Every structure is written in C-alpha cells, then in structure tokens.
C-alpha cells in the first residue's frame, strides 16, 4: 500500500511526531511504501527516523499573523491566515504522488486540508486523519475554561468560534473517511464535537530504547528528584507540581527538586507564569527548565529521576508516562489524562484528580514513606509496558483502519 503521511512541521520533538514516525517505520517493515509530506522542515527532531523515508517539504510557506489585542484585526488575521493556510495546503497536495493509495494527515488543521485538496483535484482516494488532540475552537475554549475557570470568552467570540468550527467541519473534516484517536475519551469528544465516529489506536514505545533501572529503595526524603515534561501549554499544569513540592516540604519535611523538559519560549505567558510561581516560592535552586533535549538525554532523565509526574488536564494519552514506566520510574498521573484509562491505581501508577496539588503532594509522600509501594510501582510499571505496548500492534491497528475505509468506498 502506498501511504502519504502529511504533517505541518516534521522535525520537532513531541509525542505526536514520535507516534507517527514509529508507526511509519513499522508499516515500512511490513512492506508498505510510506512517504512523508510536510509544510515545514523544522529543527532537530527524530532525524534518523525521518531519514528512513522519502520526504517532501514545501520550499516556502506563509507564517501565521496574530494581533492579540485588537478584536477587529483578529478577525482580519483569521481570514488572512485561513487563506494562506489553504494556499499552503493546496501546494503541498499538488506535490503528493498521484499513485498514492491512502492519505494519512496528522493532527494539524493544515494536514487534513492538504488531504482535502488532493482528494478533490488529484485523486479521490481514502483519507484517515490521525488526531492527537481536537483542533476545533469550541473544544479548545472548553479546555481553557477547565484549566482557568475564571476565563470566559465573549458572546461574540463564542458565536465566531461556532461559525468557524462549522465551516472547518463541514468543508474539510467531513471529507475524512476515517479518524484515528489515541484514547477512549478522544473517541467520545470526536463524536460530540465533530459528529464523526473514530477508532482508537494507542500509541506505544520502543521498549529497547528505554532501559530498565532497578530501584532498590525509595528515595531519601531530603533529596527527591521529580521529573515533568511536555511542551509548555497551559493544560500541562506544571504549577500544580510546584505547589505540591511546597506542600510536601512544609507538611512532611520532604525536600524535592524538579526538572521540567519541554519546548518553551521565554516570552510565552505560560512559561512566565511558571517562572513567577517558582520565584514566589523561592524555588529557583530547586526547579530547572531544560527545554528541548536529545533522545539520549531524555532517556537518562527518565531513568535517573525518582518520580515522574504527569499533571496535565484533559490531555490525550501521554506517551511520556509509559517511557518513564519502562525505565522503572514510578509515575503520578492525572486522572484526566488519556494514559489513566489503562493504568491501575496503586498497582502500576498513582492516579490523582486534576488541578489538585495536595493530591500530588500526598502521592509523593506515599512513595517516599512506603518503600514497598515505591518498588512495586517501579517493577509493575515496566512489566505493564513490556506486556501491553508495541509499535507493531499500533501499526497493525492503523493498517486495519486503512483497509476498512478503503473497502467501504
């Protein structure tokens, strides 16, 4: 089968890129022809995996324009960006091999638009959108309100979002022959916000890339090394981890340090919020921001920390959770993250309610004070990943969806 995988930006480090490229590698091993198409090349990323495929980039593209403080200019920029995105999507579509048998746009709005233009102007073949997170405006605002309850868009803004979403769904998303999602909650959201059925294709890890480090004892209460990771978006809730550090220190005399791995810009409001939180609690010597790091450094962090905390609220899946578990690092996971769907509280993870720093603090205390629990989560976490997760299974599940939508046309 000739497969075209379509991306906005390919060479970046993130869970969605890791998911796509590992599945692509397995599909290639199965004898399928996979070509990668992207609007932008990006910097860094999973170079070795990308180099295993033919790759087509646009020579030039339109950078988005934003006017954050002027509502009229925001409307103007919306139409301008929509027009420019359509142009770039069309240009990429015209570069896709006409002999392609199935399209597989990934995550971003521009990718399923490229699939739409290919289907309309070149060859009306099946297209399966791999959706890592919902992209509709009303969903994103719902999540923003969940994370920041005091925030509320104006009636005009809500009406505008509804119109924009209706256009996006009616013209582009409705033309997708199938949608793959990462977890059951995304499947429900796809039905609610897009009125379309979807198929769950879990992400996985290459367990050989994350060597297990056997723990012998629980961490010492005066030097607990915490790890969190993820691109700096507001739903990551890193502030909850910092507040939990303070609670554990003040109530139980447990001293933690925190390393945060993930892309950020110093001008971004969420990064500034987290930095201010660190300064407010005098934790500058205890909290460190690493930005984007190499794969080798990522594995070392996963192995060498005492506890990994995934505090994200309304987050799809969470591959970082399973990478840490594979290394034998006990994990504390928000119940509103997709990963929580497959984990057992107290057996291979500790699950906490979202936006509740005191629950994270209590979980840290339990792991420090209960060595048996700590060692059980370490061993069981590795076993769970080893027994249940493989890229080959993920690739076969996606391939089955490809074949199903192809047969139904």
Burial 195-216 (b: 16+ CB within 10 A, else e): eeebbbbbbbbebeebebeebe
Whole-number average pLDDT of the chain: 92
Structure confidence by residue, pLDDT tens digits, 49-88:
899 999 999 988 998 887 666 767 777 887 888 899 999 9
Residue 161 has pLDDT above 90, yes or no: no
Angle between helices 15-29 and 391-407 in degrees, nearest 10? 80
Shared domain for 400 and 378, answered yes or no, is: no
What is each CA distance from 223 to 218, 307, 358, in whole angstroms?
11, 12, 19
Spatial CB neighbours of 335, under 8 Å, sequence gap ≥ 6? 351, 352, 353, 354
Shared domain for 22 and 75, answered yes or no, is: yes
What is the total count of domains within the chain? 2
Phi, psi of 199 (to 5 degrees): -125, 130
Domain that holds residue 121: 2-204+391-407
- Give the separation between CA 182 and CA 186, rounded to whole angstroms: 7
- Give the separation between CA 135 and CA 123, rounded to whole angstroms: 26
Shared domain for 135 and 39, answered yes or no, is: yes
Around 242, how many Cα atoms within 13 Å sit in the side-chain half-sphere?
A: 23
- Give the separation between CA 396 and CA 380, rounded to whole angstroms: 26
- Give the separation between CA 406 and CA 324, rounded to whole angstroms: 37
Q: What is the CATH number of the domain that holds 303?
A: 3.40.50.2000
By the 8 A CB rule, do 38 and 6 touch?
yes
* Residue 319: closest CA among 44, 18, 104, 105: 18
Shared domain for 31 and 104, answered yes or no, is: yes
Shared domain for 338 and 197, answered yes or no, is: no
Q: What is the 3-state secondary structure (H, E, C) of 160-190?
A: HHHHHHHHHHHHCHHHCCEEEECCHHHHHHH
Shared domain for 151 and 187, answered yes or no, is: yes
Shared domain for 183 and 242, answered yes or no, is: no
Shared domain for 236 and 133, answered yes or no, is: no
Q: Which two tokens stand for residue 1?
A: 């089968």
11-25, 166-180, 264-278, 310-324: the lowest-pLDDT one = 11-25
- Would you say the C-alpha torsion 24, 170, 146, 271 has a positive or negative sign? positive
Shared domain for 167 and 36, answered yes or no, is: yes
Residue 12 has pLDDT above 70, yes or no: no
Shared domain for 160 and 213, answered yes or no, is: no
Structure confidence by residue, pLDDT tens digits, 79-127:
888 899 999 999 999 999 999 999 999 988 999 999 999 999 999 999 9
pLDDT at position 77, please? 83
Shared domain for 154 and 218, answered yes or no, is: no
* Residue 386: closest CA among 216, 183, 205, 182: 205
- Give the separation between CA 46 and CA 62, rounded to whole angstroms: 24
Structure confidence by residue, pLDDT tens digits, 38-47:
998 876 667 8
Shared domain for 315 and 232, answered yes or no, is: yes
The pTM score is 0.89
């Amino acid at each position: 089968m000739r497969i075209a995988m379509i991306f906005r930006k390919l060479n970046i480090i993130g869970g969605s890129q890791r998911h796509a490229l590992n599945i692509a590698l397995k599909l290639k091993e199965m004898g399928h022809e996979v070509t990668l198409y992207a609007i932008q090349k990006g910097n860094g990323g999973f170079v070795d995996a990308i180099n295993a495929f033919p790759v087509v980039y646009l020579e030039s593209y339109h950078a988005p324009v934003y006017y954050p403080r002027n509502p009229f200019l925001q409307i103007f920029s919306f139409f301008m960006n929509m027009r420019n995105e359509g142009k770039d999507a069309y240009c990429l579509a015209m570069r896709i091999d006409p002999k392609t048998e199935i399209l597989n746009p990934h995550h971003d709005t521009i990718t399923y638009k490229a699939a739409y233009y290919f289907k309309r102007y070149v060859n009306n073949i099946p297209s399966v959108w791999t959706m890592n997170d919902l992209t509709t405006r009303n969903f994103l605002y719902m999540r923003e309100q969940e994370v920041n309850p005091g925030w509320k868009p104006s009636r005009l803004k809500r009406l505008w979002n509804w119109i924009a979403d209706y256009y996006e769904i009616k013209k582009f998303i409705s033309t997708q022959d199938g949608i793959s999602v990462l977890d059951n909650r995304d499947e429900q959201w796809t039905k609610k916000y897009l009125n379309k059925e979807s198929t769950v294709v879990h992400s996985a890890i290459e367990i050989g890339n994350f060597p297990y480090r056997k723990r012998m004892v629980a961490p010492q209460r005066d030097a607990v090394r915490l790890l969190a990771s993820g691109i700096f978006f507001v739903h990551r809730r890193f502030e909850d981890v910092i507040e939990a550090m303070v609670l554990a220190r003040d109530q139980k005399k447990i001293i933690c340090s925190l390393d945060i791995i993930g892309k950020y810009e110093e001008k971004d409001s969420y990064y500034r919020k987290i930095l201010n939180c660190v300064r407010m609690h005098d934790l500058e010597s205890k909290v460190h921001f690493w930005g984007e790091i190499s794969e080798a450094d990522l594995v070392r962090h996963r192995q060498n920390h005492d506890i990994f905390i995934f505090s994200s609220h309304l987050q799809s899946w969470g591959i970082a959770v399973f990478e840490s578990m594979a290394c034998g690092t006990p994990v504390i996971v928000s119940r509103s993250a997709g990963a929580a769907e497959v984990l057992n509280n107290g057996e291979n993870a500790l699950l906490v309610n979202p936006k509740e720093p005191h629950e994270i603090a209590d979980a840290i205390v339990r792991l420090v004070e209960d060595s048996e629990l700590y060692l059980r989560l370490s061993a069981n976490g590795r076993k769970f990943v080893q027994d249940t997760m493989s890229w080959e299974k993920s690739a076969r599940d996606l391939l089955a969806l490809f074949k199903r939508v192809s047969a139904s046309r």
